[in-house]
Structure 1
Amino acid sequence: MTDQPGFWDTLGALIPLGLAGAFSWLPVTGVVVLLLAGSGMARVWAFVVGRVFGLALITVAFVAGARALPTPRSAPTLEGPVVAGAEVFAGVALVVVGAVTWVRREVARTKEEPAWQRRLGEASLPAVFLTSVIVDLQPKGLVLGLSSGVVVRAGSMPIPEAVIVLLVYLAIASSSVLLPVLATYAAPSRTRRWLEAAQDWLDTHGRTITAVVLVLVGLVLVVDGLRRF
């Protein structure tokens, strides 16, 4: 099944997008705050499930929208201007979001801890879940969803193959919140020390890393989109 044209190209294009989703300081900070708060693993799992649900919701919505794009008869595989233009647009949008994140990183460092982080450890399970979903609805998450939808549509694959590549994308994008939880179960004491150091590091460098990854992935999309014209 994976021999079908477009599968490996699409998978290769989605992996950087998944990494861009994983290197997102907001969801990682959220799960670290909950693990350090010691308010129970139920809240942690509510946040993780909310993260995966939000990612899936946004991605599936944009994939469905991209698949609704008209297919020119002369370009049944959609290697034409419609998808190329959408991919360039998504890439430029990622670069813009990355640039804004870079500019705002110094301002954010001078502010006190956001209210949602302070309240997260005491919030109810539904509130934690909704907070995680809302985090996914930030501009970065929406642009990544748009980008993944365009990439999957450009591959012009059968639905089963599209589902496989999307699952791989979601697994990569959500790995940054899932792995710390699994590590906590495996080695609680050691992981807690790592999480405390990670929280300080995220406060200092999280936005910078996010900005750089977004710009790099955006440039890759722009180049790939221009190649399709």
Structure 2
Amino acid sequence: MSDDPGFFDILGALVPLGLAGAFSWLPVTGVVVLLLAGSGLVKVWAFVVGRIVGLALLTIGFVAGARALPVPSSTPTMEGPVVAGAETAAGVALVVVGVVTWLRRDRARDRGEPAWQRRLGDASVPAVLLTSLVVDLQPKGLLLGLSSGVVVRAGDLPFAEAAVAVLIYLALASSSVLLPVIATHVAPVRTERWLRLAQAWLAEHGSVLTAVVAALVGVVLVVDGLLRF
């Protein structure tokens, strides 16, 4: 971002974070499992709503926390060592998460289908909602929330612009659970075939996807953070 980041600078930094959130295999796997299990629209939409609400709470919480950080007295915005250090640290942490996930990829495949996936199709609506609410309470999800909060605070945008930027970020991050549901409504037969292929691919390569996306976004954050010093 530039020395005096505006709305489009902040949005440009949020887009890769939103895409990283969209390429999180846990929520995508959850909605695929529900759609293929024929669990009914109520459970499917409970999962989607829970995912969106969970993302929103996590993001808003970190944005509020970032806005509570002290503003350097020499500058009118958060440009400076506070933001630079927080963004660089979040980027390094994401790279570490990516590397660790990559090293554990074979172990993740060998464990087979997690218990929560096997039970999700038969779970009650409140249980499905709770599962989707907490699905991001893992290192990658928490770090993405932290990073988005730091990025939004970096621009010190007016409330309306910050709200629009966050909404666009949330739309991107939640698109991977919303689009399969819409596609199922539009073309159920064709979508079911795609969903079965996606489920098999995620079971085999989901951890690799998480590792690569986390590492790439982490590198972007590290570079942007170092440029702020």
Contact 2:5/2:154 (<8 A) preserved: no
Mapped to 1, the partners of 2:5 and 2:130 lie a distance apart of 39
What residue number does 2:217 align with?
A: 217
What residue number does 1:204 align with? 204
CA contact (8 A) 2:51 2:132 kept: yes
Matched, 1:51 2:51: yes
Alignment of 1:182-197 (within 5 A): 182-197=182-197
Spell out structure 1 runs of 4+ moving beyond 3 A: none
Structure 1 residues 135-156: Cα deviation after superposition (integer angstroms, max 9, x where no partner): 1111111100000000000011
Match of 1:162 in 2: 162
Query: Could you say what secondary structure the match of 1:76 adopts?
Result: coil
Distance 1:202 1:42 in 2: 24
> Deviation of residue 157 (structure 1)?
0.4
Paired residue total: 226
Counterpart residue number, 1:141: 141
Where do residues 62-101 of structure 1 align in structure 2 (5 Å cutoff)? 62-101=62-101
| C-alpha distance in 2 between matches for 1:224 and 1:113 | 37
Letter in 1 for 2:117: Q
1:20 aligned residue? 20
Q: Distance in 2 between matches of 1:139 and 1:130?
A: 18
**Percentage of pairs with the same residue:** 74
Letter in 2 for 1:12: G
Give the drift of 1:5.
5.3
Would the aligned equivalents of 1:92 and 1:222 in 2 still touch at CA under 8 Å?
Answer: yes
Contact preservation (8 Å) 1:54, 1:137: no
Q: What is the distance in 1 between the residues matched to 2:19 and 2:191?
A: 22
Q: CA RMSD in A?
A: 1.0
Secondary structure at 2:135 match in 1: helix
Per the normalisation by structure 2, the TM-score is 0.97
- Please give the per-residue CA displacement for 1:6-26, whole angstroms capped at 9, x wherever unaligned: 101000000000000000110
Structure 2 residue aligned with 1:42? 42
Which amino acid letter does the alignment assign opposite residue 221 of structure 1? L
Q: Which secondary structure does the structure 2 equivalent of 1:136 belong to?
A: coil
CA drift of 1:98 comes to 1.1
**For the residues of structure 2 that align with 1:39 and 1:158, how far apart are their CA atoms?**
43
| 1:172 alignment partner in structure 2 | 172
Q: Kindly provide the amino acid, as one letter, of the partner of residue 76 in structure 1.
A: P
Query: Per-residue deviation at 1:100?
Result: 1.5
Q: Which amino acid aligns with 1:87?
A: E
Q: Is the 8 A contact 1:23 1:213 kept in 2?
A: yes
Q: Which amino acid aligns with 1:80?
A: G
Tell me the TM-score normalised to structure 1 length: 0.97
List gaps (5 residues or longer) in structure 1: none
Aligned partners of 1:205 and 1:96: how far apart in 2? 19
